[in-house]
Chains A and B, each alone.
Chain A
Amino acid sequence: MRSYTFRKIKNGIIVSLAYMALIVALIPLASILIETILRGLPAMNLSFFFEEISPLGEPSGGIGPAIQGTLIVVALASIIGIPIGVLSGIYLAEFRQSEIASIARFLNDVLTNVPSIVLGIFGWTLIVVAIGWSVIAGAVALAIMMVPIVTRTTEEAIKLVPITIREAAIALGVPQWKTTLTVVLSSAKKGIATGILLAVARISGETAPLLLTILGSRFWFSGFTEPTAALPLAVFNFSQLPIDWPRAWGASLTLIFMILLINIIIRYVTREKYG
């Protein structure tokens, strides 16, 4: 029989391996964060957030239009993408057996893996060619990116709602559609919100689709059919000249903070009423 000491040693080895794996996984994350904070903070001051972007090579201005542009494009993409994604997810979860659902699910999975530059080309062909570089084109490209993520997570979240909850409502004489929209959806809201959050965070940092749709700009927002600035584009542009690197780091840190903020807000809004 193996002794207690032997089992204890074995346990100790496995536990330390697990911790080591954890540390290895955290190193890149921590070093990105630390590096960005160390290099980004010096570039930041109040006017950095509120001034227009100065031309490349003259790193005196701010990134105000980029923050504004990202907020507007992401908000518009969310307005388009979230309802489509959530409704598709509800459809896939409620009619999971149907033929159409399995085809839609497959196409949705394919769409998840379409490279973002392809969505940029798509937005360019569809909208830019017709009305020019514009906020709308960027929002559409990002919305297309959001939909499959939101759809999939909504479907999974709804599938996790226990059948007993659904049956309880149906047995009370609540029609099935209403059961889905009230009891089922509110039981699944945390999962759905997490999916939306993932999607918003994901598109906030996308650069490729924006390059081909909103083009970028140094000035404040001037209309939905006009080009606009965005944080990822600003980082991309600033990174081309060493003299602009400090503000590239500043813009990166701002982007990270923004995504963090979106996370916190959504967590707060969807917190469990009864923890």
Chain B
Amino acid sequence: MSYKIEIQGLDAWFGKKHVLQDITMKIKENVVTAIIGPSGCGKTTLIRCLNRMHELTPGAKVAGKILLDGEDIYDEKVDPVTIRRKVGMVFQKPNPFPMMSIYDNAAAGLKLNGVTDKHRLDEVVEKSLRVAHLWDEVKTELGKSGASLSGGQQQRLCIARALAIEPELILMDEPTSALDPTAAAKIEQLIRVLAEDYTVIIVTHNMQQAARVSDFTAFLYLGRLVEYGSTKDIFENPKSELTEKYITGEFG
């Protein structure tokens, strides 16, 4: 199996606050990797470094290398916009564009990037909504507002929106934390299906969720990568005492 992403000596700051320290990890293709850890440990910052969203915050800085298919995404010559087209992102709170229809939300990535071919848009919208397991629920009301859907449906719409730009990597930042258990379960099933074609990285504060959906797990604590390995090893046989304490709920 090849590595999709190689993070090498990554450091990140918000102003003077050093939020990620010397993270090095390799992530395989077509697997689900979960990033777990207590609040404020840098989970979200880590994935926001992977699509160059971290640097959008005023005062934020990054150092180190991240190779996506062998190419350093922080190289001077790289335009962050092209990276973001290869990396889809799903946010903590479902955030469909409120003034757009369901159809336009799913098509947003293409439309905003200048695709006007109606035929192609129709095709991509249907395909993405099908993959996101939303098509059957919305196919007769594609013209309705994206904001009119339930929370779980909105989040699947956001997943469809991310899929429509045909990314190679999908980042999910606690995608179920704002959802009820039934809606969350649907998203979890979907993540497993996505892993057949995509590399998925999911941040979660829910350890059971990490155990259920991921193949690999990384445990972050105070901005450092404490342990990284197969999910089975991390949960059943952690090497670090800190990991064990976190997994067993001694702190968090």
Residues of A at the B interface (CB closer than 8 Å) are 97, 162, 164-165, 167-175, 178-179, 182-183, 186-187, 272-274
Contacts and interface: CB of A to CB of B under 8 A. Distances in A.
Given A172-B84, A172-B112, A173-B165, 5 more contacts: A162-B95, A173-B82, A173-B113, A174-B81, A179-B112
Nearest to A168: B95
B43 interface: no
Interface stretch (B21-29, B50-58, B119-127): B50-58
Given A187-B98, A274-B99, A173 B93 contact: no
A172 B96 CA distance: 12
B145 A274 contact: yes
Contact of A170 (B84, B97, B161, B162): B84
A168 B113 contact: no
A273 B96 CA distance: 15
User: Mostly helix, strand, loop or mixed at chain A's interface?
Assistant: helix
Contacts of A175: 81
20 contacts: A162-B95, A164-B91, A165-B95, A165-B98, A167-B56, A169-B108, A171-B87, A171-B88, A172-B112, A172-B165, A173-B85, A173-B86, A173-B165, A174-B109, A174-B112, A175-B81, A182-B112, A183-B97, A186-B99, A274-B145
B91 A168 contact: yes
Contacts of A182: 112
A173 B86 CA distance: 8
Nearest to A188: B99
B200 interface: no
Contact of B147 (A162, A169, A178, A274): A274
B225 interface: no
A172 B162 contact: yes
A170 B53 contact: yes
Max chain B C-beta neighbours (<10 A), residue from A167, A179, A274: A274
Contacts of B112: 169, 172, 174, 178-179, 182-183
B148 A274 contact: yes
B234 interface: no
B91 A167 contact: yes
A173 B84 contact: yes
Contact of A168 (B56, B85, B158): B158
B32 interface: no
B172 to A, nearest CB: 11
A177 to B, nearest CB: 11
Contacts of A174: 81, 109, 112-113
A108 B242 CA distance: 56
B46 interface: no
Contacts of B108: 169, 172
Interface string B71-88: 000000000011111111
A179 B112 CA distance: 8
A102 B97 CA distance: 30
Interface string B220-241: 0000000000000000000000
Interface in B156-192: 158, 161-162, 165
B161 A172 contact: yes
For A165, A167, A171, A179, the residue with the greatest tally of chain B CB atoms inside 10 Å of its CB is: A171
Contacts of A97: 58
A97 B85 CA distance: 28
B182 to A, nearest CB: 24
B35 interface: no
* Residue in B86, B112, B165 whose Cβ sees the most chain A Cβ within 10 Å: B112
Minimum-distance CB pairs A-B, first 9: A173-B85, A274-B145, A171-B89, A172-B109, A173-B84, A164-B95, A174-B112, A168-B95, A175-B81
Contacts of B99: 186-187, 272-274
A97 B93 CA distance: 27
A170 B85 CA distance: 9
B1 to A, nearest CB: 27
